[in-house]
Amino acid sequence: MSIAGIYPPIATPFDADGDVDYPALRANAARWMTTPLRGLVVLGSNGEAAFVGDDEAERIVGEVRALVPRDRLVIAGTGRDATRATIDACRRAARVGADYALVRVPMAFKAQLTADALLRHYRAVADASPIPVLLYDFPQSFGLTLPLPVIVSLAGHPNVAGMKESSGDVAQIADQVSSTPDRFEVVVGSAPTLYASLCVGAIGGVVAVANVVPEVCVRLYELTRAGRHDDALAVQRRLTPLARAVTATYGVPGLKAAMSIAGYRGGLPRAPLAPCPPAVEAELRAMIDALLRD
Amino acid sequence: MSIAGIYPPIATPFDADGDVDYPALRANAARWMTTPLRGLVVLGSNGEAAFVGDDEAERIVGEVRALVPRDRLVIAGTGRDATRATIDACRRAARVGADYALVRVPMAFKAQLTADALLRHYRAVADASPIPVLLYDFPQSFGLTLPLPVIVSLAGHPNVAGMKESSGDVAQIADQVSSTPDRFEVVVGSAPTLYASLCVGAIGGVVAVANVVPEVCVRLYELTRAGRHDDALAVQRRLTPLARAVTATYGVPGLKAAMSIAGYRGGLPRAPLAPCPPAVEAELRAMIDALLRD
Amino acid sequence: MSIAGIYPPIATPFDADGDVDYPALRANAARWMTTPLRGLVVLGSNGEAAFVGDDEAERIVGEVRALVPRDRLVIAGTGRDATRATIDACRRAARVGADYALVRVPMAFKAQLTADALLRHYRAVADASPIPVLLYDFPQSFGLTLPLPVIVSLAGHPNVAGMKESSGDVAQIADQVSSTPDRFEVVVGSAPTLYASLCVGAIGGVVAVANVVPEVCVRLYELTRAGRHDDALAVQRRLTPLARAVTATYGVPGLKAAMSIAGYRGGLPRAPLAPCPPAVEAELRAMIDALLRD
Amino acid sequence: MSIAGIYPPIATPFDADGDVDYPALRANAARWMTTPLRGLVVLGSNGEAAFVGDDEAERIVGEVRALVPRDRLVIAGTGRDATRATIDACRRAARVGADYALVRVPMAFKAQLTADALLRHYRAVADASPIPVLLYDFPQSFGLTLPLPVIVSLAGHPNVAGMKESSGDVAQIADQVSSTPDRFEVVVGSAPTLYASLCVGAIGGVVAVANVVPEVCVRLYELTRAGRHDDALAVQRRLTPLARAVTATYGVPGLKAAMSIAGYRGGLPRAPLAPCPPAVEAELRAMIDALLRD
């Protein structure tokens, strides 16, 4: 099975009390299933995984899985700082139906996270996880880069299926693709480089803006696969401003506001994040209108 | 009450199965109480807090508290990425007897952690915590610096008692001391700058090497307070190599090995950390011997 | 006139006394002119511009110009830290026949180099330079990024013709292209992202590896322009290892050794750079053989 | 001979045409000689060395030397990126009477500047320089740290007399002092850590703010040497705000404005630096008034 395609790293909507808003979560999942998305990534960085407890996480994955048909994929973020906690999270995600475990690089004690330590961590997780593991590299957020030799070594593990690369470094994605066997699939996690990453061999994308405008993201993907490069680049150019706004510029609060503007139920972020101010919402609305009008 | 004095950020010993080794923890706590340490910091960075679950954390704090007399202090690390999780951790620590809550800077979504967001986070925590809060700044580990204006503002909160500054930036400590009222106490978290930080107004130190040689650390502190600067500097120079070895150079595995060499029960680290190799143990033994012989 | 095409940022060969080896320089220039390169970039970073005095620089540019026909381009690196020194360098380069002045970002006093300061600097240079100016952004080397709004503003200056972007950040190149008028041309300065950068709108490349294998670089460029994406990507994959070796891995010493292996006269670097050790030369030889054999 | 004491890294005044204002330079030097400064550092970072040509540099050093009696010291900044240019600058500075050459870390090709390369560079310079060499480490400005083992090795060279450490890292200064023989003298280049650095063994300071208020800086130095720690710390606290303003906050333009306010002739900076706006001048004036009034 291939993970090729486009996924949103879905936002986790919270209500005014700071609790998970499950009805909103279900409504979003159901609506995403009316689009050509390949599946959903649950509790990635944009899902505020850092703010969600283990019991909440299990329920969130299960609720989403119930709404995603078996021929589409549920990828669950299960990375923790400790190896044992990561394994536990993989098992719980598998139990409630996740297809893949997306395992971020550990963040604690970076100075001790040598190549050997990273290999031991990921091998132990891949050995124990009931579902295939995807590596997750995002140096800007995790403060550590997964070195290429570590990736190449892990690509030989039968329970490691691929990786998500969110650095936005297209040369790095090109290396990851060209240095690993075809069965190890690389998806890009940075929307402004979606088209270029597909050009150099990425098999798909997990991009926050696909929470808001999934159809546009899938169109870019399909155009690139069809070899219609000029058209794909044109879509990329129109997509990039909103993609930036809902990540680098306004973060998860911006993403949630944009989702609500687009008819999804973004809900509130958890503190210390704060909701977007109205001026930002207006700016996002204008960007979405422009994007969908063109 | 003042927090002035020297504290080890105590290591959390694990056994070969990766479980908390409570007998070892209790043995260490009891032995530290035979030294002139002012108290213990439980589940700071060096306590592998990132690897410890909430239930484990509560039990660890409680077990330590039972062995620390009321005239000495138990400071519990309770910082989490989310405000609500941090508040919950403060309450649980208070319930089992911690005197202070040491609240690290949140690490998730750094781009959104403006001064306002940090103020909201810490104020909400300080408002809700049953015990006084200590801020905890350690940019090398947390990836974010607590800005001085935020510190100055929080120093006015009645339930914020002080802070731990682990950057090793002595000018920053000097600023923190000179910009806040006397009741806001600053302790340094970097042993190689312990003497210099005390010179510029830090009231004490929370230093990993105090797990191993608490008496030497307290001596340095007492000499500085007595105005015996040349003697204090001489102790600092002898202490620094071991202090570096059990933090920057060999990390928590080095700290645990050094503890065991010095007669404490360091136990094992949790994966992905790995125990020190024998060659490092030999190096640490030589350093400890040299330090205690002088 | 367009600068579209492939250029080597030519190495400056030095002899055993550390003097510029002008015969070697001329031999290289003459040989490059037998290839389909669009022109030569003289005294860029890879030309050891930081080690070359102003009088030497003028002579080097003049000697190269004499060997480059008027229908090919000579682009001279003329950036200095001070505005007045930069203007002087532009004038001297123009006097000896350079077609364009490549003006790197100033490196001194970065904290004071606000957008306004950068605008003032580049405008003063563009106003005074007898030849069109190309901006030069290379944050990894210069320690400062040219902000997009500054680029957009400068793109409106009649004597600013384009820029060289060496960060390897493909999304940034895409932004630079899509945010500026067509007459403002962007060339990429990072060989591992040459193909991807051309995909997103770069008009050409200035890549160190084109000192060694200019024909391969031009082939990649031509294949991309012809829409033969699979073939272009295949060339990119074969080119990348050598491209990395002569920049990030072994630097200018590696570049010079590779040139000599490929039949150019790389000469020696100036101290504190040291020549490549023989083991590296053997590695480079194997890479070049593999690349040219395929 | 010892370099113990306080020095300003003197500003280089420019006139409205951007030329060196020699009368202003001479007036400043003469006035500094009425204070207890140990000497002057000419063409350090704050002297806009990056903006000054080699002929200008020689004249500046010579003009200053003529006004500094032989029992006070002239230290000339002579570091360049290339070894040969550095040696040439040392010779020219020596010829016009400099007592010491202050040689900054090279900035070009950092990836190639291994410990070996740095050792070769500094040894070649120290071998060739007619006057003793001082190493100069300032990672925030030069982008590279001089590693301790390199310093220790160079401390054994008979023509290397000491170093200037401007990182503000007090633990690093402590290491440099304790790891080198007494004849290798360390001066601190960061005013906010002047007192703490003297505590841990620095022999003096080269601090920008000594351009403005030399007497206050020397007082801090004398109090520390006399063991009057509380008084020294009190002076440090009063000095730090102005010290920060004329470096990190407002840079060389702020330094020059402050000099003019204090009765020196700061002159203008060279472009791309711009003069301080009037609001900053007013702020600086208030800081200076407060400092001198206390």
**Cα separation, B224 vs B196, whole angstroms:** 9
pLDDT > 80? residue C294: no
Choose, from D38, D92, D164, D256, the residue flagged as catalytic: D164
On whether the CB atoms of residues D155 and D168 are closer than 8 A, the answer is: no
Contact call for D121 and C273, based on CB within 8 A: no
Q: Which CB contacts under 8 angstroms, 24+ apart, belong to A113-120?
A: A113/A144, A113/B272, A115/A147, A115/A149, A115/A150, A116/B274, A117/B272, A117/B273, A117/B274, A118/A146, A118/A147, A118/A150, A118/B272, A119/A150, A119/A153, A119/A154, A120/A83, A120/B271, A120/B272, A120/B274
Across the beta sheet with C100-104, the strand order is: C5-7, C204-206, C185-188, C160-165, C133-137, C100-104, C73-77, C39-42, C9-10
> 0.80 exceeded by the pTM?
yes
Distance from CA of A236 to the nearest CA of C (A): 9
Maximum pairwise Cα distance, chain C: 51
| Nearest residue, CB atoms, A199 vs list C171, C196, C237 | C196
**Cα separation, B271 vs B15, whole angstroms:** 12
Residue A293 pLDDT: 87
On whether the CB atoms of residues B221 and B202 are closer than 8 A, the answer is: no
What subunits touch chain C, counting only 3 or more CB pairs under 8 A?
A, D
pLDDT > 80? residue A294: no
Q: Is beta strand C160-165 parallel, antiparallel or unpaired with respect to C133-137?
A: parallel
Confidence category of residue B258, pLDDT binned at 50, 70, 90: very high
Q: DSSP 3-state assignment of A167? A: coil
pLDDT > 90? residue D255: yes
Contact call for D168 and B168, based on CB within 8 A: no
Average pLDDT over residues A234-242: 98
Whether B and C touch (3+ CB pairs < 8 Å), yes or no: no
Contact call for C233 and A193, based on CB within 8 A: no
**Cα separation, A179 vs D63, whole angstroms:** 61
Distance from CA of A87 to the nearest CA of C (A): 35
The closest of A38, A17, A28 to A262, measured between CA atoms, is: A28
pLDDT > 90? residue D293: no
Choose, from C65, C164, C238, C256, the residue flagged as catalytic: C164
Question: Residue B119: exposed, middle, or buried by beta-carbon count in 10 A (0-12, 13-18, 19+)?
Answer: middle
Average pLDDT over residues B268-290: 97
With pLDDT > 90 as the criterion, what percentage of chain C qualifies?
99
What Cα–Cα distance (Å) separates residue C293 from each residue in C58, C99, D270?
39, 36, 53
Q: DSSP labels for A55-74?
A: HHHHHHHHHHHTTS-TTSEE
Contact call for C171 and A178, based on CB within 8 A: no
Q: Render pLDDT for C123-135 as a digit per residue (tens, 0 to 9).
A: 999 999 999 999 9
Question: Residue B181: exposed, middle, or buried by beta-carbon count in 10 A (0-12, 13-18, 19+)?
Answer: exposed
**Cα separation, B104 vs B99, whole angstroms:** 16
With pLDDT > 90 as the criterion, what percentage of chain A qualifies?
99
Q: Which residue of chain A is at minimal alpha-carbon distance from C201? A: A233
On whether the CB atoms of residues A55 and A7 are closer than 8 A, the answer is: no
- Tell me which chain D residues have a C-beta less than 8 angstroms from the C-beta of B236: 174, 200
Element (H, E) at C141: helix C139-142
Contact call for A175 and C229, based on CB within 8 A: no
Which stretches within B200-271 are classed as H helix? 214-225, 229-244, 251-261
- Tell me which chain B residues have a C-beta less than 8 angstroms from the C-beta of A51: 81-82, 84-85, 108
- Residues of B within an 8 Å Cβ radius of D: 168-171, 174-175, 178, 190, 192-193, 195-196, 199-201, 227, 229, 233, 236-237, 240
What subunits touch chain A, counting only 3 or more CB pairs under 8 A?
B, C
**Phi (first) and psi of residue B5, to 5 degrees:** 135, -170
A110 has catalytic annotation: no
Residue C80 pLDDT: 98
With pLDDT > 90 as the criterion, what percentage of chain D qualifies?
99
Residue B72 pLDDT: 98
Residue C120 pLDDT: 98
- Tell me which chain A residues have a C-beta less than 8 angstroms from the C-beta of B53: 85
**Cα separation, C273 vs C276, whole angstroms:** 9
Length of chain D, in residues: 294
Distance from CA of A97 to the nearest CA of C (A): 36
Confidence category of residue C47, pLDDT binned at 50, 70, 90: very high
Residue B293 pLDDT: 87
Choose, from A38, A65, A164, A256, the residue flagged as catalytic: A164
Element (H, E) at C205: strand C204-206
The alpha carbon of residue B76 and the mean position of all alpha carbons in its chain are separated, in whole angstroms, by 9
Name the β-bridge partners of C5. Answer: C204
The radius of gyration computed from the CA coordinates of chain B, to the nearest angstrom, equals 18
The closest of B95, B47, B18, B53 to A55, measured between CA atoms, is: B53
Distance from CA of D232 to the nearest CA of B (A): 10
Choose, from B164, B176, B206, B247, the residue flagged as catalytic: B164
| Nearest residue, CB atoms, D83 vs list C124, C251, C271 | C271
**How many interface pairs between C and D have CB atoms less than 8 angstroms apart?**
94
- Tell me which chain C residues have a C-beta less than 8 angstroms from the C-beta of A195: 199-200
On whether the CB atoms of residues A159 and A129 are closer than 8 A, the answer is: yes
Residue A82 pLDDT: 98
Contact call for A171 and C178, based on CB within 8 A: no
On whether the CB atoms of residues C86 and C121 are closer than 8 A, the answer is: yes
Q: DSSP labels for A1-24?
A: ----EEE-EE---B-TTS-B-HHH
Beta strands (DSSP E) in A38-189 are 39-42, 73-77, 100-104, 133-137, 160-165, 185-188
Element (H, E) at B143: none
| Nearest residue, CB atoms, A253 vs list B45, B112, B248 | B112
Contact call for D240 and B192, based on CB within 8 A: no
Residue C185 pLDDT: 98
On whether the CB atoms of residues C236 and A203 are closer than 8 A, the answer is: no
| Nearest residue, CB atoms, C199 vs list A168, A171, A196 | A196
Which stretches within D113-262 are classed as H helix? 115-128, 139-142, 148-154, 170-178, 194-199, 214-225, 229-244, 251-261
Contact call for C270 and D84, based on CB within 8 A: yes
Choose from A109, A119, A276 for mutation: most chain B CBs within 10 A. Answer: A109
Q: Which two tokens stand for residue A286?
A: 């204008």
Q: DSSP 3-state assignment of C113? A: coil
- Tell me which chain B residues have a C-beta less than 8 angstroms from the C-beta of D170: 168, 170, 193, 196
What Cα–Cα distance (Å) separates residue C265 from each residue in A115, C23, C217?
39, 9, 19
On whether the CB atoms of residues A251 and A280 are closer than 8 A, the answer is: no
With pLDDT > 90 as the criterion, what percentage of chain B qualifies?
99
Residue C73 pLDDT: 98
On whether the CB atoms of residues C52 and C43 are closer than 8 A, the answer is: yes
The closest of B8, B10, B7 to B266, measured between CA atoms, is: B10
**Cα separation, A263 vs A258, whole angstroms:** 9
**Cα separation, C244 vs C238, whole angstroms:** 11
Contact call for A50 and B82, based on CB within 8 A: yes
The amino acid sitting at A45 is S
The closest of A197, D268, B75 to C169, measured between CA atoms, is: A197
Q: Which residues contact B32 (CB under 8 A, 6 or more apart)?
A: B8, B10, B40, B214
**Cα separation, B105 vs B81, whole angstroms:** 8
**Cα separation, A194 vs A189, whole angstroms:** 8
**Cα separation, A152 vs B256, whole angstroms:** 32
Q: Render pLDDT for C214-232 as a digit per residue (tens, 0 to 9).
A: 999 999 999 999 999 999 9
Average pLDDT over residues A56-77: 98
What Cα–Cα distance (Å) separates residue A153 from each residue in A100, A117, A123, C153, C181?
19, 13, 10, 47, 45
Q: Render pLDDT for A173-190 as a digit per residue (tens, 0 to 9).
A: 999 999 999 999 999 999
What's the DSSP call for residue D134? Answer: E
Residue D13 pLDDT: 98
Residue A1 pLDDT: 87
Q: DSSP labels for A18-54?
A: S-B-HHHHHHHHHHHTTTT--EEEESSGGGTGGG--H
Contact call for C252 and D109, based on CB within 8 A: yes
The closest of D237, D249, D244, D164 to D212, measured between CA atoms, is: D244
Choose from B193, B199, B220, B233 for mutation: most chain D CBs within 10 A. Answer: B199
The alpha carbon of residue B68 and the mean position of all alpha carbons in its chain are separated, in whole angstroms, by 16
pLDDT > 80? residue D44: yes
Question: Residue A157: exposed, middle, or buried by beta-carbon count in 10 A (0-12, 13-18, 19+)?
Answer: middle
Contact call for D169 and B174, based on CB within 8 A: no
Confidence category of residue D245, pLDDT binned at 50, 70, 90: very high
| Nearest residue, CB atoms, A272 vs list B48, B121, B143 | B121
Contact call for D196 and B174, based on CB within 8 A: yes
Question: Residue D221: exposed, middle, or buried by beta-carbon count in 10 A (0-12, 13-18, 19+)?
Answer: buried
Q: Which residues contact A15 (CB under 8 A, 6 or more apart)?
A: A21, A24, A267, A268
The radius of gyration computed from the CA coordinates of chain A, to the nearest angstrom, equals 18
Q: DSSP 3-state assignment of D258? A: helix
pLDDT > 90? residue C1: no
pLDDT > 80? residue A27: yes
**Cα separation, B106 vs B121, whole angstroms:** 9
| Nearest residue, CB atoms, D174 vs list B169, B192, B227 | B192
